[in-house]
Chain A
Amino acid sequence: MSAETSTDHRDEAEVSAEQARDGRIAVRLWAFIRPYRVLFALCMLLLPVASALSLLQPHLIQLAIDNHFVPRKEEGLGLLVLAFAATILAEFFLRYAQIYLMELAGQRALRDLRCAVFAHIQRLRIAYFHRNPVGRLMTRLTSDVDSLQEALSSGVVTIIGDLFTLAAIVVILLAKNWRLALVTFAVVPVLLGVSFVFRLLIRAAYRVLRTKIARLNADLQEAVTGMGVVQLFVHEEASKAAYDEVNRDHRDAAYKSIRWDAVLYAIVEMIGSIAIAGIIWWGAGEAVAGYATLGVLVAFVEYVQKFFIPIRDLSQKYAVVQSAMASAERLFELLDSTEIIEDAPDARPLDGFEDRIEFRNVWFTYTDEDNWVLRDVSFTIDKGERVAFCGHTGAGKTTIIGLLTRMYDIQRGQILVDGVDIRELRLRDLRRRFSVVLQDGFLFAGSLRDNIAMRAGEVDEARLREASAVVHLDRLIERYPQGFEHPVRERGVNLSSGERQLVTFARALAHRPDVLILDEATANVDTETEALVQAAVEALLQHQTSVVIAHRLSTIEKVDKIVVLHHGEVAESGSHAELLALGGLYARLVELQYTDPTRRGADA
């Protein structure tokens, strides 16, 4: 948001800086166009040829007037008519070919850009998503790419064709009668001045407009996702009012851009007619003096019309290009975001996990050093060991997972796998050592199979079935006629939260990780299922290194080691028995959990 608003308030006088920016953007766009440069070049070649054909037409009319109409000579007119017909037909085929080739090249280049942006988003660290709403990123991938698409297939290349047409007309007119040509072009500086001023206004208006549409999309996106809550709390009117406000802002910004657009368009049109008036005013003298034939005068009028149509369209296309440039700027801004957790240049592969994971004096904060989430945390997880983390809500348990899988980098200390700092390891290798069951069982649209296997070719049928059986998902799958092919809708809304959890369990197991991570995963499954899952997971992971984060102490007391976190620090650690004997925080937690609920209720 801040980046977007700050550009709005930028001093509009910094024209040269903006042009430099446009230049930079163009250079970067070229990188995407380059693979299709042959197609683009072909387009470029077709454009001047088509223009030349259309510029031949006024000359043919001049010939008709001077050689046939004025001297009243019919002979030879048929040939001129045929030539005229030929230019029309040829122009049609050339323009059609040009438009299609442009679309072909443009669509492919923009597909590459869209995919590049998407791929870049895949590399962004998770913290980026905390600050950038999904709706805004969606605008980048759809609206912004589309506005570039519109520019590419209608604007930019035809501008180049237009410029050629303009230059050709200047040359033709100067050659036909330079004095009259100069009179005609007298209006050009005025035209350029006016365009220049309005260009700035339009550019500013479009920039505001794009900011507003991003806002509008983000708001809509959120409202649609949270509509259930809106309705439950009878908040429809307020949320309609809020949407109306953003919508109105967007409309008003659009009104402004329409105003400048319309004025520029009209002025350019007017100047074209005034140029014709100039031709008649000056041309009368030239004609009387015999410096210009009537045919030349008429041809001038025709050429001037052909001269001002592209100039008029230029201003319109300029608006398209402006909006495209603004979009491109945002896209490249996103592509440039360096919030990537990337492999070090000499990152080492990690083929397996042999020995131990160690947190060595780890300090971590999501925001700034006043808000440490973890302070000086140290512990080890040996191969085959099962380690549980417990503590109150907000003690930093979940954060451990983010750090272990390197979703975040720590500020101080080291996290070591087999003695190597994880920042020196290949990220992908590191993450593939783990299977994580997250708090909210996130499912993708697709089949149950896709959701368990995740990547094609890595999980075979046997493992799929085995994992599903272990977590008792098989019972559920039997209920569906299509079995593993049962469709899962977006976010798994057609499954209950317990079912979703079972699927994420199966997913984690099917990947046969070196380390299994369970994050509060058992909380949403009913007691019966939970007991079954628990037993199964234990059986399967007899010799499996695992990290468990749960509120239910019963699920973790059989682990080898328990780390109790309190306000971001390791309060105590040891086995269940050791910690009970210690009589500290853990012992108190256990006492709370074990108090027989019914007896307590009776006492109260």
Chain B
Amino acid sequence: MSRNRQLLRYFVKSWPSFAAGGVALLATNLLALSIPRQIGAAVQHLRDAADTASIDVSAVESLAWTIAALALGAAVARVVSRVFIFNAGRQTEYRLRNELFAHLTRLDRAFFERSATGDLTSRVVNDVTFVRLMFGFGVLHVVNTAIAYVVVLSLMLSVSPKLTLYSLLPYPIIFFTVRLFTKAVYTRTQAVQAQLSAISARAQENLSGAMVVRAFAIQDRENDAFRALSDEYVERNLALARVRGALMPYMGVIGGLGMLIVLWLGGLETIREGITLGEYIEFSAYIVTLAWPTMAMGWVLSMWHRGTAAFDRLGVILDAKPSVAPPATGALHLPAISATSGEIQFEGVSLTYEDGTEALRGVDLTIAAGTTVAIVGRTGGGKTSLVHLVARMRDPTAGRVLLDGVDLRDVDPVEVRGEIGYVPQDPFLFSMTVEDNIRLGERPGSGLTVDDAVRIAGLSDDVEILSNGLQTLVGERGVTLSGGQKQRVTIARAVMRAPRVLVLDDALASVDTRTERRILDELAAVMKGRTSLVVTHRFSALELVDEIVVVDEGRVAERGSHEALLALGGIYAGLHRRQQMEEEA
């Protein structure tokens, strides 16, 4: 869909508000623009009085009262029009933000890995604001200008067609010269916005890494980098100001030129009695009235360009297509969970990342239902990629992954994830209570309570220590909890799900061995008859597993029981020996 069609779509969504606002604007203009005629009539009365030396004061007074009444009516209509149109702008902003957010929830891991958080938020925050201004102020002034032109032009023509023609001579110039401005305004606005995003991204990173910044005392480097970005921002803003700054005064000149022509040609007409003085006054009042909407148009044009530039930047989010998506037609469902659920099959699975890195190369692997399997291997060998595929965080580039006999790509990713209890490497908690964080994994009919999950995850002691127990609010990214505590909250969260497949992606790394043992014992009971995948570096965790899969250089290198793998004398035996030696040294 072209940009203008998309914009139109948002406009149409709020059409009742825009329509009501438009009607009110028409009323405002009709009422307000009737005032010059009353002024002209009053002046003409006085002019005639000077000639005839007699005056009907009550007629002039009634003209004054008419002006006051028209002003009151115009004010009411004006309030109505502004409220409707500006509200529609805010409504559009609200709708756009919700749509962006909803779309973000659909985008996949790859998208978030290649986008900086600060940049994304800057688009949703700042760019949407510019789109809103375009819809609110922009629409108001476009409609207002259109109406004002139609009404004023017909009034002017009724006074003097010839004078109307002359006084409007400069106006076509606007439309040609303004086009010169617009392109420059557009490109320079994009440059400014891009720089603002860069500043946001930098600040975002600095704030997230506050601890490292302090530990290495690199505040100076950070300040210098931030200053450099800010300097560039100033430069780009000034480049924009050189163009945009001329726009308003220029429009003033155009308006002034109309006045000038009326003063000159209209003046001559008045002197030669082609028109009356009252008509001259009325006419020049119209030209003045026209100057303001014309000037506002200049403003609107720059707002339009800023708005469309911003809208294009939103396209980066709105047009992004998740690579993991529900099947186009006829989504399959996973078979109902039974005593033997959770069989996972990898059939010739390869995974290549966007940057060309080959994470997995032709993996064939069947993990029997109800087993606990450890996945071990060197860093970068492909362990995490393997478990990402199970949760459909990515789809394989070749081959297929089946859960209980169904190709995952034929199932809605939401359904797949509903069956997986995933504990990621980096424990991420939301700034809500501990309980709410755990309840994130809640699933009706799982038969598990929060207390069960807390116990299983070995979190009971920690919860007791916390000031408000389960109701303790954890700060953004859960900073007030220790790394181990955070990890155990994420385990409790996954357990809550009573999942078909539980994935522990190196999730016990920052827990001490005693806690690890306790957690694994508890988990063994819960995961009875379900499948667990345990990615790990620690050999102490391997005593509870049914099978060990060694992943190396994107392939399944070895698999089997601990004893069998030791006997094999391959990679596993090597890794084990090293850890062993080191422990005994």
Choose the segment among B154-162, B223-231, B360-368, B399-407 that binds chain A (4+ C-beta atoms closer than 8 Å): B223-231
Q: Name the B residues within 8 Å of A531 (CB-CB).
A: 578-579, 581-582
Q: Name the A residues within 8 Å of B352 (CB-CB).
A: none
Assuming the contacts A95-B249, A489-B114, A498-B379, asked whether A142 and B199 have C-beta atoms less than 8 A apart, the reply is: yes
Q: Mark B406-444, 1 if CB is under 8 A from A, else 0.
A: 000000011001101010111010110000000011000
Q: Which of B493-540 contact A (CB under 8 A)?
A: 493, 497, 506, 509-515, 517, 537, 539-540
Q: Name the A residues within 8 Å of B273 (CB-CB).
A: 72
* Cβ–Cβ contact B47 & A294, under 8 A: yes
- Extra inter-chain contacts (19) besides given A64-B263, A104-B238, A284-B55, CB under 8 Å: A70-B47, A78-B264, A92-B249, A95-B248, A111-B227, A111-B230, A118-B222, A217-B121, A222-B477, A224-B112, A254-B93, A262-B82, A270-B72, A302-B288, A393-B515, A435-B216, A496-B384, A525-B379, A554-B585
The one of B83, B207, B233, B581 in contact with A259, judged by C-beta atoms closer than 8 angstroms, is: B83
* Cβ–Cβ contact B199 & A141, under 8 A: yes
Please measure, in the bound complex, the distance between the C-alpha atom of A262 and the C-alpha atom of B76, giving whole angstroms.
10
Please measure, in the bound complex, the distance between the C-alpha atom of A73 and the C-alpha atom of B273, giving whole angstroms.
11
Q: Assess whether B371 is interfacial by the CB under 8 Å rule.
A: no
Q: Mark B93-108, 1 if CB is under 8 A from A, else 0.
A: 1100110011011110
10 sampled A-B residue pairs with Cβ under 8 A: A72-B271, A107-B234, A115-B223, A133-B475, A135-B476, A232-B391, A265-B82, A454-B221, A494-B355, A526-B377
Q: Mark B355-395, 1 if CB is under 8 A from A, else 0.
A: 10000000000000000000011111000100000010100
Q: Assess whether B87 is interfacial by the CB under 8 Å rule.
A: yes
Q: Which of B1-58 contact A (CB under 8 A)?
A: 32, 35, 38-39, 42-43, 45-47, 49-50, 55, 57
Choose the segment among B61-69, B308-316, B329-337, B338-346 that binds chain A (4+ C-beta atoms closer than 8 Å): B61-69
Assuming the contacts A118-B226, A119-B223, A284-B46, asked whether A244 and B196 have C-beta atoms less than 8 A apart, the reply is: no
* Cβ–Cβ contact B214 & A594, under 8 A: no
Q: Which among A126, A267, A284, A600 has the highest number of chain B CB atoms within 10 Å?
A: A284
* Cβ–Cβ contact B578 & A528, under 8 A: yes
Q: Assess whether A44 is interfacial by the CB under 8 Å rule.
A: no
The one of A301, A520, A525 in contact with B39, judged by C-beta atoms closer than 8 angstroms, is: A301
Q: Nearest Cβ distance between residue A140 and chain B, in whole angstroms? A: 9
Please measure, in the bound complex, the distance between the C-alpha atom of A239 and the C-alpha atom of B218, giving whole angstroms.
36
Assuming the contacts A96-B249, A111-B231, A497-B426, asked whether A527 and B578 have C-beta atoms less than 8 A apart, the reply is: yes
Please measure, in the bound complex, the distance between the C-alpha atom of A80 and the C-alpha atom of B542, giving whole angstroms.
99
Q: Assess whether A593 is interfacial by the CB under 8 Å rule.
A: yes
Question: How many A-B Cβ pairs are below 8 Å?
Answer: 495
Q: Nearest Cβ distance between residue B143 and chain A, in whole angstroms? A: 15
* Cβ–Cβ contact A262 & B78, under 8 A: yes
Please measure, in the bound complex, the distance between the C-alpha atom of A142 and the C-alpha atom of B118, giving whole angstroms.
11
**Closest partner residue, chain B, to A497 (CB atom):** B425
Q: Name the A residues within 8 Å of B462 (CB-CB).
A: 393-394
Q: Mark A375-388, 1 if CB is under 8 A from B, else 0.
A: 00000000000000
Assuming the contacts A262-B86, A454-B216, asked whether A520 and B510 have C-beta atoms less than 8 A apart, the reply is: yes
Please measure, in the bound complex, the distance between the C-alpha atom of A79 and the C-alpha atom of B563, giving whole angstroms.
109
Q: Which of A236-280 contact B (CB under 8 A)?
A: 236, 239-240, 243-244, 247-248, 250-251, 254-255, 258-259, 261-263, 265-267, 269-270, 272-274, 276-278, 280
Q: Please provide the 8 A-B residue pairs with the shortest distance between their CB atoms, ordered closest to farther.
A: A498-B379, A601-B543, A273-B71, A88-B256, A262-B82, A393-B484, A270-B75, A281-B64
Q: Mark A286-312, 1 if CB is under 8 A from B, else 0.
A: 011000001001100110010001000
The one of A61, A77, A107, A137 in contact with B237, judged by C-beta atoms closer than 8 angstroms, is: A107
Please measure, in the bound complex, the distance between the C-alpha atom of A84 and the C-alpha atom of B266, giving whole angstroms.
14
Q: Assess whether B122 is interfacial by the CB under 8 Å rule.
A: yes
* Cβ–Cβ contact A367 & B216, under 8 A: no
The one of A85, A224, A233, A445 in contact with B121, judged by C-beta atoms closer than 8 angstroms, is: A224
* Cβ–Cβ contact A273 & B61, under 8 A: no
* Cβ–Cβ contact B256 & A74, under 8 A: no
Q: Assess whether A463 is interfacial by the CB under 8 Å rule.
A: no
**Closest partner residue, chain B, to A493 (CB atom):** B113
Q: Name the B residues within 8 Å of A436 (CB-CB).
A: 215-216
* Cβ–Cβ contact B61 & A84, under 8 A: no
Please measure, in the bound complex, the distance between the C-alpha atom of A223 and the C-alpha atom of B93, giving whole angstroms.
19
Please measure, in the bound complex, the distance between the C-alpha atom of A239 and the C-alpha atom of B116, giving whole angstroms.
21
Q: Name the A residues within 8 Å of B39 (CB-CB).
A: 276, 280, 301
Q: Nearest Cβ distance between residue B569 and chain A, in whole angstroms? A: 16
Assuming the contacts A103-B238, A276-B35, A371-B467, asked whether A445 and B116 have C-beta atoms less than 8 A apart, the reply is: yes
The one of B207, B414, B506 in contact with A129, judged by C-beta atoms closer than 8 angstroms, is: B207
The one of A69, A103, A225, A435 in contact with B477, judged by C-beta atoms closer than 8 angstroms, is: A225
Q: Which among A216, A226, A393 has the highest number of chain B CB atoms within 10 Å?
A: A393
Please measure, in the bound complex, the distance between the C-alpha atom of A597 and the C-alpha atom of B196, giving whole angstroms.
54
Assuming the contacts A99-B249, A497-B506, asked whether A527 and B579 have C-beta atoms less than 8 A apart, the reply is: yes
Q: Name the B residues within 8 Å of A81 (CB-CB).
A: 260, 263-264, 267
Q: Which of B174-230 contact A (CB under 8 A)?
A: 196, 199-201, 203-223, 226-227, 230
The one of B60, B102, B230 in contact with A281, judged by C-beta atoms closer than 8 angstroms, is: B60
* Cβ–Cβ contact A77 & B83, under 8 A: no
Give the dominant DSSP class at A's interface. Answer: helix
* Cβ–Cβ contact B484 & A394, under 8 A: yes
Q: Nearest Cβ distance between residue B21 and chain A, in whole angstroms? A: 11
Q: Name the B residues within 8 Å of A69 (CB-CB).
A: 267, 270-271, 277, 280
* Cβ–Cβ contact B214 & A407, under 8 A: yes
Choose the segment among A18-26, A352-360, A415-423, A426-434 that binds chain B (4+ C-beta atoms closer than 8 Å): A426-434
* Cβ–Cβ contact A232 & B542, under 8 A: no
Q: Which of A80-125 contact B (CB under 8 A)?
A: 80-81, 84-85, 87-89, 91-93, 95-96, 99-100, 103-104, 107-108, 111, 114-115, 118-119, 121-124
* Cβ–Cβ contact A266 & B75, under 8 A: yes
Please measure, in the bound complex, the distance between the C-alpha atom of A221 and the C-alpha atom of B417, giving whole angstroms.
23
**Closest partner residue, chain B, to A65 (CB atom):** B277
Please measure, in the bound complex, the distance between the C-alpha atom of A447 and the C-alpha atom of B553, giving whole angstroms.
25
* Cβ–Cβ contact A74 & B117, under 8 A: no
* Cβ–Cβ contact B75 & A269, under 8 A: yes
Assuming the contacts A240-B98, A511-B216, asked whether A597 and B230 have C-beta atoms less than 8 A apart, the reply is: no
**Closest partner residue, chain A, to B512 (CB atom):** A551
The one of A135, A143, A434, A439 in contact with B510, judged by C-beta atoms closer than 8 angstroms, is: A439
**Closest partner residue, chain A, to B322 (CB atom):** A231
The one of A91, A251, A367 in contact with B249, judged by C-beta atoms closer than 8 angstroms, is: A91
* Cβ–Cβ contact A442 & B207, under 8 A: no
* Cβ–Cβ contact B203 & A118, under 8 A: yes
* Cβ–Cβ contact B46 & A499, under 8 A: no
Please measure, in the bound complex, the distance between the C-alpha atom of A244 and the C-alpha atom of B213, giving whole angstroms.
35
Assuming the contacts A69-B267, A254-B90, A263-B79, asked whether A438 and B211 have C-beta atoms less than 8 A apart, the reply is: yes
Q: Assess whether A455 is interfacial by the CB under 8 Å rule.
A: yes
Assuming the contacts A81-B264, A118-B223, A281-B60, asked whether A600 and B543 have C-beta atoms less than 8 A apart, the reply is: yes
Q: Name the A residues within 8 Å of B562 (CB-CB).
A: 598, 601
Q: Name the A residues within 8 Å of B281 (CB-CB).
A: 298
Q: Name the B residues within 8 Å of A70 (CB-CB).
A: 47, 50, 277
Q: Nearest Cβ distance between residue B69 and chain A, in whole angstroms? A: 9
Q: Which among B124, B461, B485 has the highest number of chain A CB atoms within 10 Å?
A: B124
* Cβ–Cβ contact A266 & B101, under 8 A: no
Q: Assess whether B465 is interfacial by the CB under 8 Å rule.
A: yes
Assuming the contacts A230-B105, A523-B509, asked whether A247 and B268 have C-beta atoms less than 8 A apart, the reply is: no
Assuming the contacts A100-B241, A142-B122, A551-B512, asked whether A231 and B417 have C-beta atoms less than 8 A apart, the reply is: yes
Q: Assess whether A339 is interfacial by the CB under 8 Å rule.
A: no
Q: Name the A residues within 8 Å of B91 (CB-CB).
A: 251
Q: Assess whether A398 is interfacial by the CB under 8 Å rule.
A: yes
* Cβ–Cβ contact B259 & A84, under 8 A: yes
Q: Assess whether A227 is interfacial by the CB under 8 Å rule.
A: yes
**Closest partner residue, chain B, to A267 (CB atom):** B75
Q: Nearest Cβ distance between residue A74 and chain B, in whole angstroms? A: 5
Q: Assess whether B320 is interfacial by the CB under 8 Å rule.
A: no
Q: Assess whether B150 is interfacial by the CB under 8 Å rule.
A: no
Assuming the contacts A69-B277, A526-B378, asked whether A61 and B263 have C-beta atoms less than 8 A apart, the reply is: yes
